[in-house]
Chain A
Amino acid sequence: MLHYAKIWAASARYSITRTLMFRGDFFVWSLVELFWMAVNILTITVIYEHTQSIAGWTKYQMVLLVGTSMLIQRFLMGFFWSSIFEMGRNIRSGNFDFYLAQPGNVMFMATTRKLDPDSLLNSLVAAAVVIYAVHQLGLEPSAGQIALYALMVLCGVVIHYSILVLSISLAFWLTSAQGIEGLYFTLTEFSRLPRAAFTGIATQMLFVWLLPVVMVTNVPASLLVQGFDLTLSAWLFGSALVWFAAAVFVFNRGLRRYTSASS
């Protein structure tokens, strides 16, 4: 465990040094994420000029939901996105060999290599949005509730991470996993919607239960708004475990197929 913490710290140091080298880039990308978050918040503000509630959620409850979605996404982007995304390309090009030679679990090494400090910085903004919404709603969450919220957000990050690793691992079979990121962003659109808005059976099955993108944000947000629900929280925790196990399984299966690419 300590061994992995050391490796991770070395990657983090490397990423931060890199960021310091390309300060302009860091600035532009921080701004990009900030802009996109603003777009989502502004959209909610505009919609609520014309309606009182969306599937029973008031304006600031929606802000809380979207803030939670942003928080999970920022964490995923900050800690894993670049590495996972590059993994697909490396599998195709054969550069993935490099990770096989490293002293540690291949999945860990390949998915934690690069941090994005701009996303991590913006996760503070996302957290501020959540806190602002909580304040506007007049909620006073207990320490236990906050801890549970953090745990649920963590489960959300694990689920997103697993879905992403799973999809990119398809590159072991298909050699090309292009377009997967587009699909991921499309799916996150659903994570900004309240669960009760999914009235059709097909959409409910697909997005709420089968692909837990909706639950990932709804469970932590409801936890603050409506209080703790054991069944839902346990369900999210359980699906985080299941998805993670599936990701590990598929990744390792794929790894066996990896034949490297000659050059």
Chain B
Amino acid sequence: MFATFDKYRQVFLTGLQSNIVYRFNFAVRGFFSLFHLAAVVILWSAASLGGSGGLGGFSLGQTITYFVTLLILQFFISAFNEDYQISEEIRNGLINQFLLKPINYFAYRFSIFVAARLVSGLVVIVPLLIALPVLREYLDFPHDYRVLLFGLPAMAMSAVIQFSIAYCFGLLSFWFLEIQGFVILSMALETLLGGQMFPLDLLPEWAYAIARCLPFYYQMYFPAAIFTGRLTDPTLIFQGYGIQAAWVIALLLVNQLLWSRGLRRHTAVGG
């Protein structure tokens, strides 16, 4: 048990080192995100002025806070290019070495993912700190430590969902030469139903009810809504945990299935 843990701890540490190499890339990406935040502030400020002052019962500050939280979460838990990396390893035959070793490929990849997000998450704080003087007047976090207590488990499960979906797409390389189309297609869905274009509670009630059942809701929106005080009812939060956990299990099962089926098709070329 301990030996297993130690194995992936080493993978994590190596992942940490190789991702620290890319710290500048992450920082540049973080700075680009500031442009996105600027567009968000401009759009929602104008929208809030054009309405009766609020946006679906939330102030402009709360809305902007939501988008800032989303940005931070993105660098801490979302999959960046894990799908392509996995796809590359399959196509180049690099995956063959894992078939001969006592290593679980999912666990191996997940350890690297955690290391990578730790680095990118910490790096994104720099551009945000630089923007803080401007952003400060918009930030409006709830003053309640319980949001952290409720939010962190949701965030952890979101990370697993994020990674599992990317892993799924990566494994599609067993069947398809190119996965880019699928990835970008699902990105459009994630962007919309994960709450990156607007907080999902602004949706009409029926649409929101549907969104709550889909995995995308639990990819990003769910923890963000808890952290920013948009979702406060404990019953709803615990219900959310339940659905989220169900999606985690379902995705892990799909991954397992794709992996075992895919390996049957796999012909080890090169390596």
Contact = CB atoms under 8 A, between A and B. Distances in A.
A51 B184 contact: no
A235 interface: no
Interface stretch (A137-145, A193-201, A221-229): A193-201
> Which of A25, A54, A182, A190 has most B Cβ within 10 Å?
A54
A32 B181 contact: yes
Nearest to B38: A203
A28 B185 CA distance: 8
A50 interface: yes
Contact of B181 (A28, A54, A183): A28
Given A35-B189, A39-B191, A46-B202, A203 B35 contact: no
> Which of B39, B184, B189 has most A Cβ within 10 Å?
B39
A182 B198 contact: no
A51 B47 contact: yes
B234 interface: no
Interface residues on A, range: 35 or more
A80 to B, nearest CB: 19
Contacts of B192: 39, 42-43
A31 B35 contact: no
Interface string B190-207: 011000011000111000
A38 B197 CA distance: 12
A182 B48 CA distance: 28
B188 A39 contact: yes
Interface in A46-85: 46-47, 49-56
Contacts of B49: 55
A194 B178 CA distance: 38
B45 interface: yes
B188 A32 contact: yes
Interface stretch (B50-58, B109-117, B218-226): B50-58
A189 interface: yes
A50 B47 CA distance: 8
Contacts of A42: 192, 197
Nearest to A30: B181
B28 interface: yes
Interface in A155-200: 179, 182-183, 186-187, 189-190, 193-194, 196-199
Interface in B30-48: 32, 35-36, 38-39, 42-43, 45-48
Nearest to A43: B197
Given A32-B184, A39-B192, A47-B198, A186 B43 contact: no
B2 interface: no
Given A32-B188, A46-B203, A51-B48, A25 B178 contact: yes
Interface residues of B, number: 34
Given A46-B198, A51-B48, A193 B38 contact: no
A196 B137 CA distance: 21
Given A28-B182, A55-B46, A186-B36, A50 B197 contact: no
A197 B29 contact: no
B29 A193 contact: no
Given A25-B181, A28-B185, A186 B35 contact: yes
Nearest to A194: B46
A50 B51 contact: yes
A54 B50 contact: yes
Nearest to B33: A186
Contacts of B28: 179
A52 B189 contact: no
A43 B188 CA distance: 12
Contacts of A50: 47, 51, 54-56, 202
Nearest to A56: B50
Given A46-B198, A54-B46, A179-B28, A189 B36 contact: yes
A36 interface: yes
A247 B198 CA distance: 36
Interface of B: 25, 28-29, 32, 35-36, 38-39, 42-43, 45-51, 54-56, 178, 181-182, 184-185, 188-189, 191-192, 197-198, 202-204
Given A51-B48, A51-B50, 5 more contacts: A28-B182, A51-B55, A179-B29, A182-B29, A189-B35
Listed from nearest, the 5 A-B pairs whose CB atoms lie closest are: A51-B51, A28-B181, A53-B50, A35-B188, A197-B46
25 contacts: A28-B182, A28-B185, A32-B184, A36-B188, A42-B197, A46-B197, A47-B43, A47-B47, A50-B47, A50-B51, A51-B48, A54-B47, A54-B50, A179-B28, A179-B32, A186-B32, A186-B35, A187-B35, A189-B35, A189-B39, A190-B35, A193-B42, A193-B46, A197-B42, A203-B42
